[in-house]
Amino acid sequence: MFKWIKVIAAGAVFSLAACSGLKTPDLSEQSITELQTMMSEGQLSSVQLVKYYQARIAKYDTGEKGLHSIIVVNPDALDIARQLDEERAQKGPRGPLHGIPVLLKDNIDTADKMPNTAGSLLLKDNLPEQDAPLVAKLRAAGAVILGKANLSEWANFRAHPSSSGWSAMGGQVLNPYKEGANPCGSSGGSAVAVAADLVAVSVGTETDGSLTCPAAINGIVTIKPTLHLISQSGIIPIAHSQDTAGPMARTVADATLLLESMTDNSVDYSSALKQDGLQGKRIGVVRNLMGYNQDLDNTFDAELQALRAQGAQLVDNCDITTVGQFSEQEFTVLLSEFKAGINGYLAQADLPEVNNLEALVEGNKQLADRELVHFGQELFEYSLKAPALTDSAYIEAQESAKRLAGKEGIDAALDRCDVDLLIAPTVGPAWQTNYESGDKFQGSAGSPAAVAGYPHITVPMGFVEGLPVGISFFSGANTEPLLIEAAYGYEQATHHRIAPSLVWITETTETE
């Protein structure tokens, strides 16, 4: 773990400096550790930090030309920050997240003044009575819940085709690197807010690619953890056999700190942040998760030397032979589990007009001029007809998908090549948002780990067509420490992330 003795000892210093009227230091792109050092030395308060992010949100996220990455800012954020500042002065910090603002994807329950909407107008009055367990853990760690992030409505599980990053509640999330570029999804708002320095870290969720795709496309890091490492409770569901929340950050270290604060175990993931984390690792290169973008492949191939230079041993052509064989089964699983999961979630919510999936379908029709303007609700309608969780068609599909992605997929590749982990390009560069044709996915590395329920980390590996792309590290269940070592070692050796300039937003704002 990071050591916080110095921070605790500095409590008295903080209480004096916080009242001295010192100028707020440069906070742009600062990590959690750097922010904590400023706080411990009395250069910064949590209140000042919240105000810094609120000012950037007002400048870059709101208005017609804003990024639209945030649906709502917590009206109590400053009060919470003030209380945490007082606690720090009296007792010292609780740990590395004390006073650090965190943004949550707007499908995660918070027991406060912010509704949990999944981006849908039908849930605009959904005010949960309890925090999701992961939120309770973050609050206990001293985090300030800054607000709720925009997302692909219903976490991209309402229609196909659809355009990632759009919701009726929040509008279209914009990619901060290029005007008109898509942010991917469904955790697009969570990724964009971190990339644009509207918050230090955020929480997203994934069923299949909803953490890793937006992280890679927006030039940041995410850790999609092993299934059930983070509680699913209090998250608007798609599929219980694949859904997970995960941290999104600008660095592997920050993502790791956030992961530690959300998990249901006491594993010291921070001890895996080793400069020489690649030394001695045997890594399989998965070529059949490539081939859809030559420039992306060239960038990836060039990075292999960076891995070798840090002591990694690469085994090429370590393919996952079952890729493409479990898509149909996965789709059956998602439809069946969504129907059961959303009915269960709505049954306990205080929303009498939309208390099941059928009511959602009818509600969208009634609000068609606002909800169905860009795409429909085919997936909702398919889900209504999906097999029940007791039906053999569902049971067989779930067993087959898990086996093909896990035991006969990732596990078999690891064993056959005798490697510790696998790598591939995460996803191609961002496409232009187009509501008529929908998302232009070329390919990705996300599905095997998502369906198997295995961990997956993506780290920036450079730019293609002037847009960020990422490299994926994944392996078997509960291998987060191994993957963090490799991902951190790679990140520290390369430092490929470049912050977006946001010039196009600034220029637009200044001319209006």
For residue 242, the one-letter residue type is Q
Catalytic residues, by residue number, are 105, 186, 210
Contact of 216 with 468, CB cutoff 8 Å: yes
Q: Which CATH number fits domain 24-324+399-511: 3.30.420.10, 3.40.50.150, 3.90.1300.10, 3.30.465.10?
A: 3.90.1300.10
- Say what the pLDDT of residue 4 is: 34
- Say what the pLDDT of residue 507 is: 66
Task: Give me the residue spans of the domains in the chain.
Answer: 24-324+399-511, 327-398
- How far is Cα of residue 329 from the mean position of the Cα atoms in its chain? 25
Supply the DSSP symbol for 198: S
Contact of 108 with 176, CB cutoff 8 Å: no
- How far is Cα of residue 40 from the mean position of the Cα atoms in its chain? 28
- Say what the pLDDT of residue 508 is: 58
- Give the whole-angstrom CA distance, residue 370 versus residue 477: 41
User: How do the pLDDT tens digits run along the chain, 512 residues long?
Assistant: 333 322 223 333 333 334 435 577 999 999 999 999 999 999 999 999 999 999 999 999 998 889 999 999 999 999 999 999 999 999 999 999 999 999 999 999 999 999 999 999 999 999 999 999 999 999 999 999 999 999 999 999 999 999 999 999 999 999 999 999 999 999 999 999 999 999 999 999 999 999 999 999 999 999 999 999 999 999 999 999 999 999 999 999 999 999 999 998 989 999 999 999 999 999 999 999 999 999 999 999 999 999 999 999 999 999 999 999 999 999 999 999 999 999 999 999 999 999 999 999 999 999 999 999 999 999 999 999 999 999 999 999 999 999 999 999 999 999 999 999 999 999 999 999 999 999 999 999 999 999 999 999 999 999 999 999 999 999 999 999 999 999 999 999 999 999 999 988 876 555 55
- Say what the pLDDT of residue 283 is: 99
- Say what the pLDDT of residue 264 is: 83
Q: Would the pTM of this model clear 0.75, i.e. be above it? A: yes
* Matching residue, tokens 């090549």: 417
Alpha carbon of 452 to those of 119, 231, 337, 342, 380: distances in Å? 27, 17, 16, 22, 24
What confidence tens digit (pLDDT) does each residue in 96-122 have?
Answer: 999 999 999 999 999 999 999 999 999
**Phi, psi dihedrals of residue 254, rounded to the nearest 5°:** -65, -40
- Give the whole-angstrom CA distance, residue 421 versus residue 221: 18
- Say what the pLDDT of residue 21 is: 52
Residue among 81, 39, 27 at smallest CA distance from 197: 27
- Say what the pLDDT of residue 65 is: 87
- Say what the pLDDT of residue 162 is: 94
Instruction: Provide CB contacts within 8 A for 171, sequence distance 6+.
Output: 68, 150
- Give the whole-angstrom CA distance, residue 328 versus residue 316: 28
